[in-house]
């Protein structure tokens, strides 16, 4: 009989949390008992999983005692406080927040890209940023075959990346109402906005994540990353306009075939008949869609890519569940209990 | 007494044509008689200019006999056929279409950037592509002071660039109706789309314009241009995420001051307090707005810029009227009548 695992979803009522629950069901994850946890305010919410209704409970320090795997997507403060508590109980945390990602003892995993990094962990595993995940799935075969020399990215990010408050602001603005909650001081509908900037050099927090996380995931600590992140009134997924420069030369058709045969990637690249990936088309899928492949002849070995993926699924919930699957496959649920210093 | 000029607007009922009329009025252009021309279908439309109502007339081969300056924005076929007819009558054509732009004997003008190129013309002057104009205004001071080595652009273009049919499609989709006319096979609302691709290497027509036109305007025929153009459900203007590499070194504050003191540019760059250019904010203005200035340390002399401008005004109508003003200033209304071969 298949072994079952007790799973907690922390932040179960949020956009990503709800999608995690849906994906556990879709992928028929071997769930024994399911625990849905959230803030006290959200406790009592009823969410169904495989035809059973579950009542969301308030997250408490003793919530993790019977849990094997906890998927966290409940904001930074919850990750800081509760991920170590859960790990101390022997529960493996897969955290969708940014706080733990760059910690040297926390693996940052995209299962198609660096599964080997999961071999050693201390109970906390980080799920990368949504824009990073889709970029990594598409760039990994290029790194392996041609070695990346410089990566230039401009993102076209769905407002769903700002969670429910982003969706609420957009929806209100579209219907001419005053938003009850906002993700940006600026209007989002019919506009472009940026993520929060707190860096004196002017990079947004999202841009800094997209510069640092790929370096860790690809074990290329000095990889030149050039990143501009833009948030848009779009739904379904994030787009990325990417230019790569590589050490080795390639033909564009070779790149197209390589990507077509790589895990997690679907190539849609028939621009002459108007076929290319779009965020709306990518919505609801787990693939990373790549198109608009073109040779960039301004450098020795250059290419253009247009990369799109569902930021809530592959960019967050699906990737987290895939990490949990990989963990089981690798028998990685036992770990050395060690307090991580942050 | 100020000399007055007879002006025609060809394509007077279109989005750009109507804006041209508005801008002639706003800038108090020395209009003698005004002629509003359009297709037979649009003839009879009444449009007001300086409190007088004008009736749009059908464009005919003899429409240009009394005209000094004709502003064209009526589609490619009209430009091909009627621009030479007008020029043969001694009327100077300022054409907003793409057909004549790369002709070696047609000046392609952004008044802040290459006014000297207006010194010789044969009656047809081209207005650059909207995305090109704003890019040129922002890059000209960089070219002059630090010399451009490579330019990488990803655009965030307003659907208004597709004219009324783009706006109609977006409006219908937002309100859940079936669009009466479409600018894209794909849904535009909440999505990203691309311009038409007919090039076997996969570049869109818009991308090819943005690669070629800056080279002509800056007289840098080999300038390495890396361009991806994306159309978005946004209004008010186009955004551009730009990375430049230059021959000479600079400090980012030096770049900020240089741009702040350059013609046609407004720098809005206080990201720590959420101040940056947005398309909606740029709408209705003629400036090119620049922000998100950051050093790109992955190359010797690199910088990031975020460039936004009203694509219908500075990107089309205003630039055309500015060319007309420059022409008058330069006494450039007389020209050698010479048939241009295309």
Task: Evaluate whether residue A337 is within a structural domain.
Answer: no
pLDDT of residue A102 exceeding 90, the answer is yes
Same domain, A177 and A281: yes
Taking the Cβ of residue B4 and every Cβ of chain A, the question of whether any pair is shorter than 8 Å is answered with: no
Residue count of chain A, please give it.
342
Rounded to whole angstroms, the Cα distance separating B23 from B18 reads 9
- The per-residue pLDDT for range A158-187, each reduced to its tens digit, is 999 999 999 999 999 999 999 999 999 999
Task: Tell me how many helices (H) and strands (E) chain B has.
Answer: 8, 15
Same domain, A101 and A85: yes
* Interface contact flag, A239 B192, Cβ < 8 Å: yes
Looking at CA atoms only, how far is residue B136 from chain A in angstroms?
Answer: 19
Looking at CA atoms only, how far is residue B245 from chain A in angstroms?
Answer: 12
Taking the Cβ of residue B296 and every Cβ of chain A, the question of whether any pair is shorter than 8 Å is answered with: yes
Looking at CA atoms only, how far is residue B195 from chain A in angstroms?
Answer: 9
Percent of residues, chain A, with pLDDT higher than 90: 96
Same domain, A139 and A92: no
Report the complex ipTM. Answer: 0.96
pLDDT of residue A34 exceeding 70, the answer is yes
Same domain, A86 and A136: no
Task: Evaluate whether residue B338 is within a structural domain.
Answer: no
Query: Residue A166 maps to which CATH number?
Result: 3.30.360.10
Task: Evaluate whether residue A81 is within a structural domain.
Answer: yes
Q: Please tell me the pTM assigned to this model.
A: 0.97
Taking the Cβ of residue B232 and every Cβ of chain A, the question of whether any pair is shorter than 8 Å is answered with: yes
Measured between CA atoms, the residue of chain A closest to residue B150 is A298
| Longest Cα separation, chain A | 59
Mean pLDDT of all residues belonging to chain A: 97
Measured CA to CA in angstroms, residue B30 lies from A305, B46, B69, B268 at distances of 49, 21, 11, 33
Same domain, B110 and B38: yes
* Interface contact flag, B152 A243, Cβ < 8 Å: yes
The arithmetic mean of pLDDT across residues B209-228, rounded, is 98
Percent of residues, chain B, with pLDDT higher than 90: 96
Task: Tell me how many helices (H) and strands (E) chain A has.
Answer: 8, 15
The per-residue pLDDT for A336 is 83
> In 3D, which of B332, B341, B342 has the Cα closest to residue B123?
B332
Task: Evaluate whether residue B90 is within a structural domain.
Answer: yes
The per-residue pLDDT for A218 is 98
Taking the Cβ of residue B256 and every Cβ of chain A, the question of whether any pair is shorter than 8 Å is answered with: no
* Interface contact flag, B271 A304, Cβ < 8 Å: no
pLDDT of residue A1 exceeding 70, the answer is no
User: Which tokens in the block code for residue A280?
Assistant: 């709306």
The beta-carbon neighbor of B278 closest among A154, A186, A272 is A186
Rounded to whole angstroms, the Cα distance separating A255 from B177 reads 40
Rounded to whole angstroms, the Cα distance separating A151 from A307 reads 13
* Interface contact flag, B292 A152, Cβ < 8 Å: no
Contacts of B183 (CB under 8 A, 6+ apart): B159, B162, B163, B165, B166, B169, B231
Task: Evaluate whether residue A161 is within a structural domain.
Answer: yes
- Please identify every residue of A annotated as catalytic: 130, 238
Taking the Cβ of residue B185 and every Cβ of chain A, the question of whether any pair is shorter than 8 Å is answered with: yes
Same domain, A155 and A115: no
Mean pLDDT of all residues belonging to chain B: 97
Contact B324, B93 (CB under 8 A): no
pLDDT of residue A341 exceeding 80, the answer is no
The per-residue pLDDT for B319 is 98
Which helix (H) or strand (E) segment holds residue A212: the answer is helix A205-217
pLDDT of residue B1 exceeding 70, the answer is no
Rounded to whole angstroms, the Cα distance separating B183 from B166 reads 5
Chain A residues closer than 8 Å to B197 by CB? 271-272, 274
The arithmetic mean of pLDDT across residues B84-105, rounded, is 96
Residues A317, A318, A323, A325, Cα dihedral to 10°: 120
Task: Evaluate whether residue B334 is within a structural domain.
Answer: no
The arithmetic mean of pLDDT across residues A115-129, rounded, is 96
Rounded to whole angstroms, the Cα distance separating B55 from A26 reads 63
Same domain, B122 and B209: no
- Please identify every residue of B annotated as catalytic: 130, 238
The arithmetic mean of pLDDT across residues A276-281, rounded, is 98
- The per-residue pLDDT for range A234-249, each reduced to its tens digit, is 999 999 999 999 999 9
Percent of residues, chain B, with pLDDT higher than 70: 99
- The per-residue pLDDT for range B266-300, each reduced to its tens digit, is 999 999 999 999 999 999 999 999 999 999 999 99
Same domain, A77 and A190: no
Same domain, B15 and B164: no
- Give the confidence band of B342 by pLDDT, cuts at 50, 70, 90: low
Query: Residue B119 maps to which CATH number?
Result: 3.40.50.720
Taking the Cβ of residue A171 and every Cβ of chain B, the question of whether any pair is shorter than 8 Å is answered with: no
Buried-state track B248-274, b at ≥16 Cβ within 10 A, e below 16? eebebeebbebbeebebbbbbbebeee
The per-residue pLDDT for A319 is 98
Residue B14 sits in which domain range?
A: 5-128+316-329
How many Cβ pairs within 8 Å bridge chains A and B?
147
Rounded to whole angstroms, the Cα distance separating B70 from B124 reads 10
- Give the confidence band of B308 by pLDDT, cuts at 50, 70, 90: very high
Rounded to whole angstroms, the Cα distance separating B204 from B197 reads 4
Rounded to whole angstroms, the Cα distance separating A236 from B192 reads 10
Measured CA to CA in angstroms, residue B23 lies from A306, B142, B321 at distances of 37, 29, 7
Rounded to whole angstroms, the Cα distance separating B164 from B110 reads 25
pLDDT of residue A196 exceeding 90, the answer is yes
- The per-residue pLDDT for range B32-61, each reduced to its tens digit, is 999 999 999 999 999 999 999 999 999 999
Rounded to whole angstroms, the Cα distance separating A238 from A249 reads 29
pLDDT of residue A139 exceeding 90, the answer is yes
Same domain, A209 and A266: yes
Taking the Cβ of residue A222 and every Cβ of chain B, the question of whether any pair is shorter than 8 Å is answered with: no
The per-residue pLDDT for B2 is 79
Taking the Cβ of residue A256 and every Cβ of chain B, the question of whether any pair is shorter than 8 Å is answered with: no
Looking at CA atoms only, how far is residue B273 from chain A in angstroms?
Answer: 8
Identify the residue whose tokens are 């290459």: B114
Best of B175, B190, B233, B289 to disrupt the A interface by mutation (most A CBs within 10 Å)?
B190
- The per-residue pLDDT for range B110-168, each reduced to its tens digit, is 999 999 999 999 999 999 999 999 999 999 999 999 999 999 999 999 999 999 999 99
Q: Kindly report the number of other CB atoms within 10 A of residue B116's CB atom.
A: 11
- The per-residue pLDDT for range B20-35, each reduced to its tens digit, is 999 999 999 999 999 9
Measured between CA atoms, the residue of chain A closest to residue B229 is A241
The per-residue pLDDT for A57 is 98
Give one DSSP letter per residue of B135-158, joined into a string: HHHHHHHHHHHH-EEEEEEEEEEE
Rounded to whole angstroms, the Cα distance separating A290 from A305 reads 7
The per-residue pLDDT for A340 is 79
Helix, strand and coil in chain A, % to nearest 5: 30, 25, 40
Taking the Cβ of residue A271 and every Cβ of chain B, the question of whether any pair is shorter than 8 Å is answered with: yes
* Interface contact flag, B233 A235, Cβ < 8 Å: no
Provide the domain count of chain B: 2
Chain B residues closer than 8 Å to A272 by CB? 197-198, 200
> In 3D, which of A239, A206, A154 has the Cα closest to residue B233?
A239
Measured CA to CA in angstroms, residue A171 lies from A183, A278, B159 at distances of 12, 20, 19
Same domain, B89 and B232: no
Contact A318, A23 (CB under 8 A): yes
Best of B148, B149, B153, B154 to disrupt the A interface by mutation (most A CBs within 10 Å)?
B154
Task: Evaluate whether residue A188 is within a structural domain.
Answer: yes
Task: Evaluate whether residue A120 is within a structural domain.
Answer: yes
Same domain, B106 and B13: yes
The per-residue pLDDT for A145 is 98
Rounded to whole angstroms, the Cα distance separating B69 from B85 reads 13
């Amino acid at each position: 009989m298949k072994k079952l695992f007790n799973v907690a979803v922390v932040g179960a009522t949020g956009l990503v949390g709800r999608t995690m629950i849906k994906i556990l069901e879709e992928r028929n994850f071997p769930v024994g008992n399911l625990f849905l946890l959230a803030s006290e305010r959200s406790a009592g919410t009823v969410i169904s999983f495989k035809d059973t209704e579950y009542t969301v409970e308030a997250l408490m320090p003793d919530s993790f005692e019977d849990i094997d795997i906890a998927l966290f997507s409940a904001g930074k403060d919850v990750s800081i406080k509760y991920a170590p508590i859960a790990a101390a109980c022997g529960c493996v945390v897969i955290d969708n927040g940014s706080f733990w990602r760059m910690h040297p003892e926390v693996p940052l995993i995209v299962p198609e890209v660096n599964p080997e990094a999961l071999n050693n962990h201390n109970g906390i595993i980080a799920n990368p940023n949504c824009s990073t995940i889709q970029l990594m799935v598409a760039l990994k075969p290029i790194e392996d075959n041609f070695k990346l020399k410089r990566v230039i990215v401009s993102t076209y990010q769905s407002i769903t990346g700002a969670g429910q408050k982003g969706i609420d602001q957009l929806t209100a603005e579209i219907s001419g109402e005053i938003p009850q909650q906002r993700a940006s001081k600026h209007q989002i509908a019919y506009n472009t906005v940026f993520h929060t900037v707190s860096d004196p050099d002017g990079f947004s927090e999202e841009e800094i994540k997209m510069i640092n996380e790929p370096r860790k995931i690809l074990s290329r600590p000095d990889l030149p990353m050039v990143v501009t992140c833009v948030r848009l009134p779009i739904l379904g997924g994030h787009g990325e306009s990417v230019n790569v420069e590589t050490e080795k030369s390639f033909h564009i058709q070779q790149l197209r075939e390589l990507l077509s045969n790589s895990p997690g990637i679907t190539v849609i690249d028939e621009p002459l008949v108007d076929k290319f990936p779009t965020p709306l088309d990518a919505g609801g899928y787990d693939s990373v869609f790549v198109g608009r492949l073109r040779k960039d002849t301004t450098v020795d070995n250059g290419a253009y890519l247009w990369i799109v993926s569902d930021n809530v699924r592959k960019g967050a919930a699906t990737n987290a569940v895939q990490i949990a699957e990989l963990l089981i496959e690798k028998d990685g649920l036992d770990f050395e209990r060690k307090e991580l210093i942050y």
